Amino acid sequence: MLLKRLTEAAGVSGNEKEVRDIIIEEIKDHVDELIVDRLGNVIAYKKGKEDSKKLMITAHMDEVGLMITDIDNEGLLKFTTVGGIDKRILVSKPVLIGKNKILGVIGAKPIHLQKREEWQRALNIDQLYIDIGAKNKEEAERLVNIGDYVSFDSQYIEFGDDLIKAKALDNRVGCSLLIELIKETKDIGFYGVFTVMEEIGLVGAGPAAYRVDPDISIILEGTLCYELPNMDEHLVPTSLNKGPAISIMDRTTLYDREFRDRIKKIAEKNNIPYQYRKTSMGGNDSGRIHTTKEGSITTAISVPCRNIHSPTSVMSKKDYKNTYNLLIAILSEYKKGEL
């Protein structure tokens, strides 16, 4: 299954090769042009009958993770974070290091040897390390290098009522949607762009947009979803199973009102549930794309993901399907020249 392959591949920002290879393999027979640019972005073009406007659809390939910074005398590995990770979700987790996916664990001090006040404080990154079971520094150095990327060891699992648990749903869910669009649509001209290093500062998107120079862009994302019992409704950023989340404003973009209304109407016309992304926190590749060259119009459409940026992110297959249906509906309007 595509989303399983994509989420179980390692692709920490700056090290997207595994993900890129899967994407190229999936789309290469379905596009008219395909390049990998100097930063590692995948830029694909599908020809249409006649294109009034230049449409670009993007999804970032990278995920948050860790990077090895030091190997200590005991053979334990120190690390830093790559992208936004809550240090508190790292403790007591297995991880995979480097190209050979060496298994390691991030342990913690036994509770028996702690003072009570210790477990009220979060453990800092500098207190944590990865243990691969090496007996000493020399053994660890044979297997691991400083600078090796580290990803969470987390399997794709389907559970509950049509839900999926995986790591890196932000943003393999966007990659999966974009791959499907490229494979399933005909006679609709658009650029499908898979960007690198979104999580460390929207690095790939600007140069990709500069090359493509789109009139309109749709950014596909996995976005934050958080809904605790008794939370005030207005504080819930997105909800699971309520359909694709359409962005209004975040830290990188004020999305074009007219284009957003157009998408909303398309959803309503096709009876596709949708929701607004009700937080202005976070951001995505749109920030760079809409300000590249003379500027352009963007919208961000996201699949809600609980526990985002953690090894146990959760999304709904129903939301995926509804997001896909909305994108197909948008593309069919675009094909008619009515976008």
Partner 1 sequence: MIKGGYKLDTKEFLKKLSNGSSVSGFEHGLSDLITSSFKDHTDQITTDKLGNIIMLKKGTEDGSSIKIMIAAHMDEIGLMVKHIEDNGFIRFTNVGGIDPRTIVGQEVVVHGKEDLFGVIGSKPPHLQEPTEIDKAIKMEDMIIDLGYPKEKVLELVSIGDPITIKRDFKSLQGSRVMGKSLDDKAGIAVMYEAMLELSNLKHEADVYFVATVQEEVGTRGAFTSTYSINPDIGIAIDVGFGSTPELPKGATIDMGKGPGITIGGNIHPGLRDQLIEIAKQYNIPYQLEVTPGPTGTDGRAMQITREGIPTLCLSVPLRYMHTSVEIIDMEDVKNTAKLLAFFISSITRENLEGLLCY
DSSP string, 206-238: HHHHHHH--SEEEEEEEEEE---TT--GGG---
| Residue 194, number of CB atoms within 10 A of its CB | 30
Shortest CB 199 distance to partner 1, Å: 11
| Catalytically annotated residue among 8, 18, 198, 221 | 198
Residues 6+ apart with CB under 8 A from 23: 42, 61, 175, 179, 194
Comparison of 129 and 190: residue with beta carbon closer to partner 1: 129
Q: At closest approach, how far in Å is the CB of 246 from partner 1?
A: 17
Q: Which of 170, 184, 169 minimizes the C-alpha distance to 328?
A: 184
- The nearest distance, CB 238 to partner 1, in angstroms, is 10
The residues that touch partner 1, with contacts defined as CB under 8 A, are 72, 74, 76, 84-89, 91-94, 102-114, 119-123, 127, 129, 131-135, 139, 143, 154, 157, 159-163, 165, 224-229, 237, 279, 281-282, 306-312, 314
Q: What is the CA radius of gyration of the chain?
A: 21
Mark whether 198 is an active-site residue: yes
**Closest CB to partner 1 among residues 190, 320:** 320
Mention every residue, 6+ apart, whose C-beta is less than 8 A from residue 167.
7, 63, 151, 152, 154, 310, 311, 312, 313
Q: Is-contact 43 35, C-beta < 8 A? A: yes
Question: Of 28 and 142, which CB lies nearer to partner 1 in the complex structure?
Answer: 142
Cβ-based nearer residue to partner 1, 4 or 211: 4
In the complex, the smallest distance separating the C-beta of residue 142 from partner 1, rounded to whole angstroms, is: 10
Catalytic residues: 198
